Amino acid sequence: MTTYRVGAGSGFAGDRMEPAQILAERGELDALVFECLAERTIGLAQQRASEANGAGYDRLFLERLAGALPHLAPHALVLTNAGAADPVGLARRVAELTRDRAVSRAVAAVVGDDVMAALPRDARVTGTDSTIADLGDRVVSANAYIGAGAAMRAIEKGADIVVTGRMGDAALFAAPIAVHHGFSDFSPDQMAAPTLIGHLLECAGQLTGGYFADGDRKVVPGLATLGFPFADVAADGTAEFGKVDGTGGLLSRATVLEQLLYEIDDPAQYKTPDATLDLGSVRIDEVGTDRVRVAAASAQGRPERLKVSVGVRDGLLATGSIAYAGSGALRRAQLALEIVRERWEVVHRRDPEELRLDVEGHNALRPWWTPETEPAEARARVAVRTFDRAATSLLHREVESLYTNGPAGGGGVELNLKETVGIVSTFIDRDAVQPRVEMIR
**Do the Cβ atoms of 269 and 299 come closer than 8 Å?**
no
Q: How far apart are CA 75 and CA 2, in angstroms?
A: 16
Q: Among 4-18, 61-75, 357-371, name the one with the lowest average pLDDT.
A: 357-371
Residue 239: how many CB atoms within 10 A of its CB?
A: 26
Q: What is the pLDDT of residues 136-188, one digit of tens each?
A: 999 999 999 999 999 999 999 999 999 999 999 999 999 999 999 999 999 99
**Do the Cβ atoms of 198 and 172 come closer than 8 Å?**
yes
Looking at residue 434, what is its pLDDT?
96
Looking at residue 239, what is its pLDDT?
98
Q: What is the pLDDT of residues 350-383, one digit of tens each?
A: 999 999 999 986 544 455 445 556 677 889 999 9
Q: What is the pLDDT of residues 88-103, one digit of tens each?
A: 999 999 999 999 888 8
Looking at residue 154, what is its pLDDT?
98
In DSSP terms, which residues pair with 248 in a beta bridge? 226
Going edge to edge, which strands form the sheet with 270-271? 270-271, 276-278, 298-299
270: nearest Cα among 297, 235, 237: 297
Question: Mean of the pLDDT values across residues 75-84?
Answer: 96
Q: What is the pLDDT of residues 264-318, one digit of tens each?
A: 999 999 999 999 999 999 999 999 999 999 999 999 999 999 999 999 999 999 9
CATH 3.30.70.120 fits 311-424, yes or no: yes
pLDDT of 241 over the 50 cut = yes
193: nearest Cα among 82, 299, 332, 41: 299
pTM of the model: 0.89
Q: How far apart are CA 268 and CA 278, in angstroms?
A: 4
SS3 label, residue 404? helix
269: nearest Cα among 282, 260, 261, 278: 278
**Do the Cβ atoms of 234 and 282 come closer than 8 Å?**
no
72 vs 13, 20, 69, 145, 247, CA distance in Å? 21, 10, 5, 29, 18
Domain ranges of the chain: 4-105+160-303, 311-424
Task: Provide the pLDDT confidence category of residue 340 given band limits of 50, 70 and 90.
Answer: very high
Looking at residue 119, what is its pLDDT?
94
DSSP string for 185-246 = TT-HHHHHHHHHHHHHHTTGGGTTTTTT--SSSS--TTGGGBPPEEEEE-TTS-EEEEE-TT
Mean pLDDT of the chain: 93
- Helix (H), strand (E) at residue 34: strand 31-34
pLDDT of 54 over the 60 cut = yes
